[in-house]
Amino acid sequence: MKIPLSASDITETEIAAVVETLRSERLSLGPKLLEFERAFAEYTGAKHAVATNSGTSALHLAVRALDLKAGDEVITTPFSFVASANAILYESATPVFVDVDADTLNIDASRIEAAITRKTRAIIAVHVFGRAAPMREIVEIAEKYDLKIIEDAAEATGARIENKTVGTFGDAGIFAFYPNKQITTGEGGMLVTDNEQIAARASRMRNQGRDQTQDWFEHTELGFNYRLSEINCALGIEQLKRIEPILAMRESVARKYNQRLRGNANLILPEIEAANQHISWFVYVVRLSENFTRAQRDSIVKQMNEHEIGCGRYFAPIHLQPFYREKFGYITGDFPVAEFQAERAIALPFFNRITAAQIETVCETFERLIEAVR
Ligand SMILES: *Cc1c(COP(=O)(O)O)cnc(C)c1O
């Protein structure tokens, strides 16, 4: 791929920190883990942070720590990465999807109350593409109906509503550090919470159900191996130190794309500024205007990739994934806003160090291909 969809950005300092850890005595459950957790808690303003080996495992721990189980319904969005609803299925609880807002692509808070039943226990709010979900409204609804809140902030490290970091509005929030996210540990995730019991349970379940004070072969409860190695943590600590310049670079890339593509009547561009919030740019996704079909979108994506420009269809709605259709009987048309937006969405190459010349190549090819399919 000449211009990839995403690319990680690792400095020599970060490489040196990883090498130094490799030469140390501890490769797991050591000082780097504690340092990474402390730094992340401080960055988000949460009281506790528990590092895990993926965002998905952090989300699973959040679901378990809140005791969501078979018979419980959990409200969430169909317009997300499949992991955000899968974590509900891991504990045999039932995801209940609520359609999204066509502009923000986040869950439409005005539709949530209609989806609440006697079985509803929680809401998993996802901050899609690094844009904050309507947390003030969600918190209000959760208080009214006594529901728990988990925030899936896997795409939103550094996003804020007013001055409060996403991930800290509910009972627990999770972040992810896969290589395409704002900061990376290779693989990795983090659970944050102000609740000491949730933090203690998550940290115990991450480590095979062991209490920190226990010996290695004493297991208080069913646990998992969701530990993040010292090597990953060493990288995470250094990446987190650069979070502000990284977010600034990403926002600047989004601005350049918008400047270049503005005025193209075939495209709906993402907003750079959102009222009362700070967006943390995860991907740059444009939508084709309403007169384009899904087949035309797919053809453009395919041709972009043939031109060695990484392009993606962000997202394929979760309820239409084959195993969700099969398990719950979802069909096309169940969540029309999410489906309509998903059919016309295209993610363009987006990474910290994409050059102006690369952006120009992407946009020039993209505009040409759009004209050709019309
Ligand atoms: C990336 C992502 C996850 C999962 O993170 P992993 O580290 O890949 O397990 C969960 N939810 C959303 C919305 C994501 O984008």
Determine the pLDDT at residue 217.
83
Summarize pLDDT for 104-145 with one digit per residue, the tens. Answer: 999 999 999 999 999 999 999 999 999 999 999 999 999 999
Tokens found for residue 59: 């989300």
Report percent pLDDT > 70 for the chain: 100
Summarize pLDDT for 48-59 with one digit per residue, the tens. Answer: 999 999 999 999
pLDDT band at 62 (very low <50, low <70, confident <90, very high): very high
| Distance from Cα 55 to the centre of ligand 1, integer Å | 5
Determine the pLDDT at residue 216.
83
Q: Is the pLDDT of residue 212 over 90?
A: no
Q: What is the mean pLDDT of the chain?
A: 97
Residues with Cβ within 8 Å of residue 107, at least 6 apart in sequence:
75, 76, 77, 98, 100, 101, 125, 126, 133, 134, 138
β 189-193/48-52 pair status: antiparallel
Q: Is the pLDDT of residue 257 over 80?
A: yes
Q: Which residue has the higher pLDDT, 275 or 261?
A: 261
The ligand 1 atom at the shortest distance from the C-alpha of residue 126 is: 13
- Give the mean pLDDT of 185-194: 98
Determine the pLDDT at residue 288.
97
DSSP string, 317-344: -GGGSHHHHHHH---TTSSHHHHHHHHH
Q: Is the pLDDT of residue 374 over 90?
A: no
| Distance from Cα 82 to the centre of ligand 1, integer Å | 8
- Give the mean pLDDT of 13-33: 97
Determine the pLDDT at residue 319.
98
Decide: 254 and 358 in contact? Cβ < 8 Å: no
Active-site position among 2, 47, 144, 181: 181
Q: Ligand 1 pocket: which residues have CB below 6 Å?
A: 54-56, 80-81, 83-84, 126, 152, 154-155, 176, 178, 189
Q: How far apart are CA 273 and CA 291, in angstroms?
A: 26
DSSP class of residue 348? E
Determine the pLDDT at residue 251.
98
The ligand 1 atom at the shortest distance from the C-alpha of residue 187 is: 7
Q: Is the pLDDT of residue 213 over 80?
A: no
Identify which of 128, 152, 185, 318 to mutate to test ligand 1's pocket (most ligand atoms within 8 A of the CB). Answer: 152
Catalytic residue at 181?
A: yes
pTM exceeds 0.85 = yes
pLDDT band at 355 (very low <50, low <70, confident <90, very high): very high
pLDDT band at 11 (very low <50, low <70, confident <90, very high): very high
| Distance from Cα 325 to the centre of ligand 1, integer Å | 21
Q: Beta-carbon neighbour count of residue 212 at 10 Å?
A: 9
| Distance from Cα 265 to the centre of ligand 1, integer Å | 32
Determine the pLDDT at residue 218.
87
- Give the mean pLDDT of 205-217: 87
